[in-house]
Amino acid sequence: MMLCMIVFQADDDLKDIYLKWHKWMQEEKRYSPHTSSSYKTDLAMFFSFLNEHMAGTLNKKHLEDITIQDIRSWLTKLKTQEYTITSYARYLAAIRNFFRYLKRFENITNDSALNLKIKRRGRSLPKDLSFIDTQLAQDESFQVSKELWTQLRDFAIITLIYACGLRISEALSITKNDLKGQYITVTGKGNKMRSIPILDTAKDAIQQYLDHCPFNLESDAPIFLGTRGKKMNVSVFQSQIRKIRNNLGLPSSVTPHAFRHSFATHLLSNGADLRSIQELLGHKNLSTTQIYTSVDSKRILDVYNKSHPRN
């Protein structure tokens, strides 16, 4: 079986379970396309390892026989390929998710896989930009594209992400129907919708782009397009940001997501409360938003250490 160049051998019953699990993640659990696809690929990697480790085509009986030692052997192999701790955590989460599905829907139980402990590393602080750097990045967008409409497109996307705190996937999914008055409707993780105030500067940037876009845009279709008139790919915009940061000599931490981080930290620095920021960012749990208090505290400490006359 082939998935994203990951090959594994399994009998028809197990292949069918594998595909039903993926469909369940998408339709029942409503995982994002990125998460469900990543989990599916992660499990394919594990199955490919088991083909070699167990020397044969996999079947349902193998799923009951998998041991902690088998999983550790797989992680040891990954370690030689220099995967990160974050990757290990996701791979283990995919396996545990699959075996929970097996227990619930396929009457297959493997306690070793169900009780996997996922070691979490300390969460790294988000890397935000200064207000000046966000302005420089916006201006530099006019230097990394040749055509005016793509320059206006990149400028509008950066402005929108920073003005509204959007994920890049959310920004690239915006339609004309989502732009109403002083608010923008955003479809976030788990297809959850939220309404966010939109600044006039962002509305103006989007309108200038729309005025120059050479393609006809349906009201319910994404407005940000690539050069062939299709919805702009995330990787294309990431490439544009790499060009911008290289031109400006900014660090590698300047990614599309950095503008979302900057939105949150700048709001917090200017007195916004965490609950409001949580709603604007679309975070399910307040604990996710609270990391920005650490970012703000670190900035205050840096200013103190640089400015205090005793230092």
For residue 297, with 0-12 CB atoms within 10 Å meaning exposed, 13-18 middle and 19 or more buried, which class applies? exposed
Count of CB atoms situated within 10 Å of the CB of 230: 10
- Which positions ≥6 away from 104 have C-beta within 8 Å? none
Q: Which residue has the tokens 């992400």?
A: 161
Can 257 be counted among the known catalytic residues? Answer: yes
Catalytic residue among 62, 245, 260, 261: 260
Catalytic residue among 189, 242, 243, 299: 189
Phi-psi region of 9 (alpha: psi -120 to 50; beta: other; left: phi over 0): beta
Catalytic residue at 189? yes
Active-site hit among 22, 40, 167, 203: 167
- The three state secondary structure string of 264-301 is HHHHHHCCCCHHHHHHHHCCCCHHHHCHHHHHHHHHHH
**Among this protein's residues, is 292 annotated catalytic?**
yes
Which distant-in-sequence residues (6+ apart) come within 8 Å of 32 by Cβ? 169, 189, 190
Residues classed as catalytic:
167, 189, 257, 260, 283, 292
